[in-house]
Structure 1
Amino acid sequence: MIITEQMIDDIALGATVLGTGGGGDPYSGALMAKVAIATAKQPVRMIPLEEVQDDWMTVPSSMIGAPTVAVEKLNSKDQMLVAFEAMEKALGTEVAATFPIEVGGFNSLIPILVAAQKNIPVIDCDAMGRAFPEAQMVTFFLDDLPSAPNTLADERGNVVTLYPIDGIWSEKFARPITEQMGGSAAMCDYPMHGKNLKRSALPATLTQAMKIGEAIRLANDNNQSGTQAVLDIVGGHTIISGKIVDIQRETDGGFATGGVVIEKLAQFEDTGVENVFVQFQNELLLAHKGTSRADMNQDNLLASTPDLISILDHETGKPITTEQLRYGQRIDLIAYPCDPKWRTDKGIEVAGPSYFGYTVEYQTIEQLKSALKR
């Protein structure tokens, strides 16, 4: 499948939904991807996971850092290529194909830049099925695949190559290096042969993002609900339709962290939920009844990581990233199920609420919805 400008726009929109507030700015990512395919020597292809050969060397292409930084510090068009070619040097071989490490906004489009420059395909897969804030929160870590080597590059040309023993140590090393690189860096990790990629990656996630983006676009063209168009594809439900009445945000430790208070719109159905507080660390991670973090408890829980939480514009259904949240926005807060790999014991240990310091236990959104009116 040849990647077109319309595909890029649809992937950017849909991946921003799946990015649950994180994954970087889709607008700048789409612009860079369009320039990349326009100037590429050959058309850039997206191939399904099953077409990957067992002996291919594959490497994901991504950015690491706080999304708020990338809004002001635009990435160099060659920055990702520097990290990618540093990975080839560390491996001592050429890479046959690339793919996104996560399906989220900017990071879904980064592989297109590399593919255009290296004349290699983009694989229709990722390692999260959404966006997560830390390097070990990937299916590859769940499946005990090695993270090393890692390469990081900044816009100045600085390159760092790491050999961490696993994804946890990759995060511990890469995050402070990213801070020294200005809060945002290009990163390659988890190089692997196609045989392991096909065993561990989540297939067709770029296609899913494209379908979501197309559904939102068509819903708006036909004066239909963009939010419902999204839910028809991802499942799940609307937690609340409301107005943002408070937003707390700071950049700390290489992350954008904070919370947002949503007050129910008068016409929203009576579910017993008047106000919702959503907490984020780059991505939206937990939603509960109330107006502050102090209201968080098991009885008030409405949705939590690793299930997906997205904020959509109430009128259009278009996703709003954490750095774009503003007072007074009318929004729909939706929750929908994660890939089954994240609902395993190890998945919950790696990316569940307790990992982020939340004093609640994970419950599926299905369980929480059924208990909502009790």
Structure 2
Amino acid sequence: MTWQLRPEDLPDLARGAALLGTGGGGDPHIGRLMVEAAMREYGPVTVLDPDEVADDAFVVPTAMMGAPTVMVEKIPRGDEAVRALRTLETHLGRRADATMPIECGGINSMIPLVVAATAGLPVVDADGMGRAFPELQMETFGVYGVPGSPMVVSGDHGETVTIDTGPDNERMEWLARGAAIRMGGAALIAEYAMSGADVKRTAIPRTLSLGLAVGRALREAREQLRDPISALTEVLAPTLYSHLRVLFAGKVADVERRTVDGFARGKARFVSFDGTSTLRTEFQNETLVAEVDGVVRCIVPDLICVLEAESGEPITTETLRYGQRVVVIGISTPEIMRTPEALAVFGPSCFGLTEEFRPVEDAVPVP
């Protein structure tokens, strides 16, 4: 069902987007402030249910790309994403009927809302990652036949770069990453232009609604002094993300983090509260693998989320720091992201990991 997103919804959506971003996807707080400013000027945003998008509608997703660590100090100017959209429309000779997220995590749940408010477009309640991933070819859109290019990369000095690599989405990522690095490490993009029929066929549905529900559940649990993990389990159970498992509880003992090649890469080590167990994670913008005492408990594309222990507030990879008290959870991804075709594009081997994918609900049975 089509609905209206209003400024009062944004704190919950930002919180839920941070969780679904699995530690990456960019700072949703910055994105929230950008959307609030756009809504104050242009009004609320219409969110379209994917089933209600016309088959012949022209949908152009918009997003940010780059290292989340860069966004801590270099926030967007504000008009880059709309410029990317307009430049791509001119290149293709067609105006967009709607925009859509490419991923449902972090700032990239927010950028399409800025575009929608500013350009007077609706935004589709769906995305192409079902979480956040670090590279542009890692989209269910591409897995199931929608080319990412032509695409436009837009910087904060008014410059744009149009990239057309035909069906080669990996080369598109490589060229766009170079452009984003030279634009300061982060840029705004428009890509994966598609029909409404392709949205229904390739996108993960209702992930904006999911982010809003997740963020609301965490807030209400805190207000009601309830366990945030129980609240999350309840809200996820009837969705495509139906399995939640607690992987670890303890403190951050060490974080190794660096910004290289346009990504935030690193590792983190956590120690249980009683000092008897250790969790190790690796991340490339997003957390990719969680290993407890040498045994992999959750691995990409399933979600690995680090939460503040008492409040359940999500912690991003760029804000992890020594001494934080955390609970780490794993969440199952939708089946569309677990097919052999999908795992060939964003499974463990695509990140240089040697472990095979194993669903989190199998790796961590219900106690």
TM-score over 0.5 for the pair? yes
Which consecutive segments of 4 or more residues in structure 1 shift more than 6 A?
A: none
C-alpha separation in 1, matches of 2:296 and 2:245? 15
Q: Structure 1, residues 227-271: CA drift from partner, whole Å, max 9, x if none?
A: 32223233311101110000000001100000110111239xxxx
Aligned twin of 2:260: 252
Alignment of 1:324-363 (within 5 A): 324-363=319-358
C-alpha separation in 1, matches of 2:165 and 2:230? 43
Percent of aligned positions with the same letter in both sequences?
A: 39
User: SS state of the match for residue 72, structure 1?
Assistant: coil
Instruction: Give the partner amino acid of 1:104.
Output: G
Is this contact kept in 2: 1:227–1:312, CA < 8 A? Answer: no
Is this contact kept in 2: 1:79–1:153, CA < 8 A? Answer: yes
Aligned twin of 2:141: 140
Aligned twin of 2:249: 241
Matched, 1:196 2:202: no
Aligned twin of 1:97: 98
Alignment of 1:1-374 (within 5 A): 1-40=3-42, 42-165=43-166, 166-234=168-236, 235-266=243-274, 274-290=277-293, 300-370=295-365
C-alpha separation in 2, matches of 1:316 and 1:310? 14
Q: 1:138, CA displacement in angstroms?
A: 0.7
C-alpha separation in 2, matches of 1:231 and 1:284? 20
Is this contact kept in 2: 1:227–1:316, CA < 8 A? Answer: no
Gaps of 5+ in 1: 268-272
C-alpha separation in 1, matches of 2:233 and 2:173? 33
Q: 1:205, CA displacement in angstroms?
A: 0.6
State the aligned residue count: 358
Aligned twin of 1:270: none
Q: Structure 1, residues 47-82: CA drift from partner, whole Å, max 9, x if none?
A: 111111111110111000000001100101111111
Q: 1:289, CA displacement in angstroms?
A: 2.6
The alignment yields a C-alpha RMSD, in angstroms, of 1.5
* More displaced stretch, 229-238 vs 354-363: 229-238
C-alpha separation in 2, matches of 1:55 and 1:347? 26
C-alpha separation in 1, matches of 2:232 and 2:267? 24
Instruction: Give the partner amino acid of 2:292.
Output: K
In the superposition, the TM-score normalised over structure 1's length comes to: 0.93
Instruction: Give the partner amino acid of 1:327.
Output: Y
Is this contact kept in 2: 1:61–1:98, CA < 8 A? Answer: yes
C-alpha separation in 2, matches of 1:325 and 1:355? 24
Instruction: Give the partner amino acid of 1:253.
Output: D
Is this contact kept in 1: 2:38–2:118, CA < 8 A? Answer: yes
C-alpha separation in 1, matches of 2:46 and 2:95? 18
Instruction: Give the partner amino acid of 2:138.
Output: M
C-alpha separation in 2, matches of 1:368 and 1:97? 39
